[in-house]
Amino acid sequence: MQLLIATHNRGKLIEYQGILAGLPLELVTLDHVGIKEDIAESGATFAENARLKATAYARASAMLTLADDSGLQVDALGGEPGVYSKRYAGEHATDAERVNYLLYKLKDVPAQARTARFRCAIAIASPSGEVWESDGTVEGEIAFVPRGKNGFGYDPIFYFPKLGVTMAELPAFEKNKISHRAKAGERARQILQRIAPSS
């Protein structure tokens, strides 16, 4: 059975292949099924955006669909960038530009005040409109300079004090144990184990 992962992001697909490994599902992306249009992330929360995308793409594809919305919340910035994480430095900014913009915003913030968290909300939708949801959070700090080559997005500046590394310095198998997407994905995996055989 195929599960549509509602993304054009190859890095995200690879993460889900690890998180959902062993399930009797073939993971395909929007590109694989020829869906070009993007659903506007107009929700006020990560969960709302995940639901919007999952239900719209499930209808468009007639497939069981998993969508997520995730982002970074920095306490010193009042929770920014939040649901605007991808668009924080502009609609077409690169990962490096987003990272540099966030570091600029935090240039005068001392280490002890750079607490932050990654949040991930997942929605799984059937073509008939049923929706199942999960979420996950991981706590850390914002580093002063990017470190590491793994991952994507804000991973190079999301620092784990207890581990002494950024998210981008973790090998994929380690990230897939502790990340916000891994936590939400594990709950989504349990949902899929229940619903996939009957979908």
Q: How confident is the model at residue 115 (pLDDT cuts 50, 70, 90)?
A: very high
**Per-residue pLDDT for 198 more than 70?**
no
pLDDT of residue 197: 62
Q: Is the pLDDT of residue 164 over 70?
A: yes
Mean pLDDT (whole number) for 31-56: 92
In this prediction, residue 23 carries a pLDDT of 93
Average pLDDT, the chain: 93
Into how many domains does the chain fold? Answer: 1
Measured CA to CA, the distance from residue 75 to residue 107 in angstroms comes to 14
Residue 141 is part of a domain; what is its CATH number? 3.90.950.10
Range of the domain at 129: 2-198
Distance of CA 180 to the CA centre of its chain: 8
Query: Residue 141 belongs to what H/E stretch?
Result: strand 131-142
Look at residue 148 in the predicted model and tell me its pLDDT.
96
Q: 3-state secondary structure string, 56-125? A: HHHHHHCCCEEEEEEEEEEHHHCCCEHHHHHHCCCCCCCHHHHHHHHHHHCCCCCHHHCEEEEEEEEEEE
- Whether the predicted pLDDT of 199 surpasses 70: no
Q: How many CB atoms lie within 10 A of CB 147?
A: 15
Q: What percent of the chain has pLDDT over 90?
A: 79
- CA 85, CA 62: separation in Å to the nearest integer? 29
* Residue in this structure with the two tokens 């199942």, named with its chain if needed: 132
Supply the pLDDT for residue 25: 94
The per-residue pLDDT for range 83-97, each reduced to its tens digit, is 999 899 998 999 999
Q: Band the pLDDT of 37: cuts 50, 70, 90.
A: confident
Q: Which residues pair with 121 in a beta bridge?
A: 69, 135
Helices 180-195 and 10-19: crossing angle in degrees, nearest 10, is 60
Backbone angles phi, psi at 174, to 5 degrees: -75, -45
- In this model, does residue 73 exceed pLDDT 60? yes
- Size of the chain, expressed as the number of residues it contains: 199
pLDDT at 47 over 80: yes
Catalytic residues: 69
Q: Cα separations (Å) of 36 from 9, 81, 88?
A: 13, 26, 23
pLDDT score at 196: 77
CA distance 42 to 76: 24
Q: What's the whole-model pTM score? A: 0.88
Closest CA to 140 of 105, 184, 170: 170
Tell me the mean pLDDT in the region 72-88.
Answer: 96
